[in-house]
A and B are shown apart, each in its own frame.
Chain A
């Protein structure tokens, strides 16, 4: 158990809709990162939040946005969903030396 919890575990959305995924980080970690993992691929870095500010972003369009709250939990929002957004979304709570992952949210866009 990593202490990182993601919700929901599965989600089905229609193309064009908006979705919000949630992550509670491990106690004491002020940094959270989000990754997108397509089927059979390695995770791709979306962005990272450090003390409620975005602190690094991967090659994802602006319709991928996030928030981090004072308790260091986080949300990933995706607007105008596309079929290619179907993937496993992983949240990681970071210490200085490693990342602790949640179990992921499987998003299917139909």
Chain B
């Protein structure tokens, strides 16, 4: 069975600074996806960034980037130039590659609450 662990329940960062959120996971699968989702108080779960396990290159989306260490089963999120709108709960999630069938089951970590301070 797969598990996802986020060991930082809460973090804070000053506006314009950089923060890194940690995530580790456990799986015996070789093909999978990893995600970071953002959930603001509005409750909408918003995809921040996606990493495909077979790709060695770390994914980047504007101010968001990941450090994917497949052997260590580590998947951290770096937020550069933090903005007040980044304040939210962040979830790391794992999804097995579906192959010929769509197996979209996501396994989430416990979440990290990020507070960006002015």
Contacts and interface: CB of A to CB of B under 8 A. Distances in A.
Nearest to A42: B108
B103 A56 contact: yes
Interface stretch (B14-22, B41-49, B56-64, B69-77): B41-49
A33 B105 contact: yes
Kindly name the residue among A48, A58, A96, A106 whose own CB sees the greatest number of chain B CB atoms within 10 A. A96
A96 B43 contact: no
Given A90-B45, A98-B33, A98-B35, A41 B104 contact: no
A42 B35 CA distance: 13
Interface residues of B, number: 27
**Which applies to chain A's interface (DSSP): helix, strand, loop or mixed?**
strand
B43 A55 contact: no
Interface string A72-110: 000000000000000010101011111111111010000
A74 to B, nearest CB: 13
Nearest to A43: B108
B68 interface: no
Given A31-B102, A42-B111, A96-B102, A103 B42 contact: yes
Interface residues of A, number: 31
A102 B42 CA distance: 11
Contacts of A96: 98, 102
B44 A104 contact: yes
Contact of A55 (B91, B101, B108): B101
18 contacts: A33-B106, A41-B111, A43-B106, A48-B103, A55-B101, A56-B105, A92-B45, A92-B104, A94-B104, A95-B104, A98-B33, A99-B104, A99-B106, A100-B47, A101-B37, A103-B44, A104-B43, A104-B44
